[in-house]
Amino acid sequence: MADAEGILEARGEGELPPEGRPTRKKPIKGADTLDWGMRNRLSQLIRDDGRCQFLPIDHGYFQGPTHCLERPGETIRDLLPYADGLFVTRGVLRTCVDPDEGTPIILRVSGATSVVGKDLANEVITTSLEEMVRLNVAAVGLSIFVGSAYEKETLQNLAELVNRCEGYGIPVMAVTAVGKELSQRTARYLSLSCRIAAELGAKIVKTYYCEEDFDKVVSGCPVPVVMAGGPKCETALEVFQFVYDGLQKGAIGVNLGRNVWQHPHPVAMMKALNAVIHVDATPEEAFELFEESRQPGKAE
Ligand code: 5RP
């Protein structure tokens, strides 16, 4: 039984130390005025340094059993400790990811096209709001294809998803996809896509890095930008170099898939990338760490 006796009286203003204003623990671009739940979910994905390393394993949603992702649960087992978020569809989440894992989930909720179909851009929203809540996701992700035959439909998908998620405090990550047109990775195109995504309400945007004017892509986008990987780079050093450069130019982190789990030393890649992202290691320092941590005896 609750004891009503001996309750001490609350202290008055004069007896209390000066009240500090609640301050935000970490910098998240465009997120200072978000409602509590929305901010809290975003915050689960971004560390105190304002940076993040996401691990995407959603590739199967349009390309089937991708090389090194045939058994997603096994691919990620040793990588998850280094990931700040896992980008995954509900099917792989339910079948391959332990719900007791602490890694926050970014649920891929667009799809319904395939590499053998007519047009990769013809996506729809694949997952209900109830499902997003049931799976306790930290965010959801959807692709937009600016400039494609399905520009309008994919932008409508984004706007509709934001409309649905806003009331439940679920952040939407927009993925500026280019389909098979990798040549579209210019600052001009990427700036356009990122800005449109943010204007439609995305709370975070995933886009490609480009060598020229990447700072303009980031500065034109009022929400955080994370870098996707694209096709596998020739060397690990090349990966560290573009990630380092992108971070210097304002990106807050990465969402790298194939350059991590298709590498013969994926754990060493995750560790080294973590150092670039969270410890400001230079590409050369990261490469040294990579060399130290890769398993002895395994070929490069
Ligand atoms: C697929 C995606 C992937 O998450 C994204 O492309 C990152 O993976 P990778 O580094 O392998 O390109 O959105 O549509």
Give the domain CATH number at 119.
3.20.20.70
Compute, in angstroms, the gap from residue 9 CA to the centroid of ligand 1. 58
Helix (H) or strand (E) holding 226: strand 225-228
Position 17 in a domain: no
| Residue 54 identity | F
What is residue 72's predicted lDDT score, i.e. its pLDDT?
98
Contact assessment for residue 126 and residue 94, using Cβ atoms and an 8 Å cutoff = no
pTM of the complete model: 0.93
Compute, in angstroms, the gap from residue 177 CA to the centroid of ligand 1. 9
What is residue 294's predicted lDDT score, i.e. its pLDDT?
87
Position 18 in a domain: no
Handedness of CA 190, 194, 200, 204 (dihedral sign): positive
Domain residue limits at 153:
30-262
Tokens linked to 192: 């356009």
Position 235 in a domain: yes
Helices 266-278, 283-293: crossing angle, 10 deg rounding = 150
Contacts of 71 (CB under 8 A, 6+ apart): 96
Position 282 in a domain: no
Ligand 1 proximity of 59 Cβ (cutoff 6 Å): yes
Compute, in angstroms, the gap from residue 23 CA to the centroid of ligand 1. 34
Position 96 in a domain: yes
- Number of domain units in the chain: 1
Helix (H) or strand (E) holding 270: helix 266-278
Tokens linked to 197: 């995504």
Tokens linked to 258: 């194939």
Q: Atom 12, ligand 1: which residue's CA is nearest?
A: 230
Tokens linked to 42: 């975003």
Helix (H) or strand (E) holding 186: none
- Condensed to tens digits (0 to 9), the pLDDT of residues 236-247 reads 999 999 999 999
Q: φ, ψ for residue 110 (rounded to 5)? A: -120, 155
Position 158 in a domain: yes
- Condensed to tens digits (0 to 9), the pLDDT of residues 51-98 reads 999 999 999 999 999 999 999 999 999 999 999 999 999 999 999 999
Position 82 in a domain: yes
Spans in the chain with pLDDT lower than 50: 299-300
Ligand 1 proximity of 123 Cβ (cutoff 6 Å): no
With 0-12 CB in 10 A as exposed, 13-18 as middle and 19+ as buried, what is 34? middle
**Active site residues per annotation:** 206
Position 298 in a domain: no
**Beta-strand relationship, 110-111 and 124-125:** antiparallel
Contact assessment for residue 288 and residue 254, using Cβ atoms and an 8 Å cutoff = no
* Nearest Cα to Cα of residue 295 among 257, 252, 265, 253: 265
